[in-house]
Amino acid sequence: MPKRKPKKLLDDKEHLFTMLSAIIKKFGGEVTITREDLEIIQPSEALSLIYDPVKKQIILKFIEIGLKKDNVIN
């Protein structure tokens, strides 16, 4: 995979599909996501992506972010 700035990688559909393909392959080749799975994601939840250059690994982590009453991210 060519070196690119992290922001550019997240904007690249081809890169995102490559990561998604790797995840699905790692977990047996099939992942089922229901409509309910998509609908339960809240505005206060996000996906964190961190690259560890020493281990040459991408770390994806589901996180909660703070929201104010008017849904503005803290």
Same domain, yes or no: 26 and 45: no
Strand partners, 67: 73
Domain span at residue 5 reads 1-31
Question: Does 13 map to a domain?
Answer: yes
Give the tens place of pLDDT for each residue, 18-42.
Answer: 989 999 999 999 999 999 999 999 9
In this predicted structure, what is the pLDDT of residue 35?
Answer: 97
Question: Does 36 map to a domain?
Answer: no
Looking at the 3D structure of the chain, how many domains does it have? 2
- Total Cβ atoms within 10 A of residue 9: 19
In this predicted structure, what is the pLDDT of residue 34?
Answer: 97
Q: Is the pTM of this model over 0.75?
A: no
Query: Which of 3-7, 37-41, 43-47 comes out lowest in average pLDDT?
Result: 3-7
> What are the phi and psi torsion angles at 17 (to 5°)?
-70, -35
Question: Does 17 map to a domain?
Answer: yes
Query: What is the rounded CA–CA span in Å between residue 20 and residue 74?
Result: 29
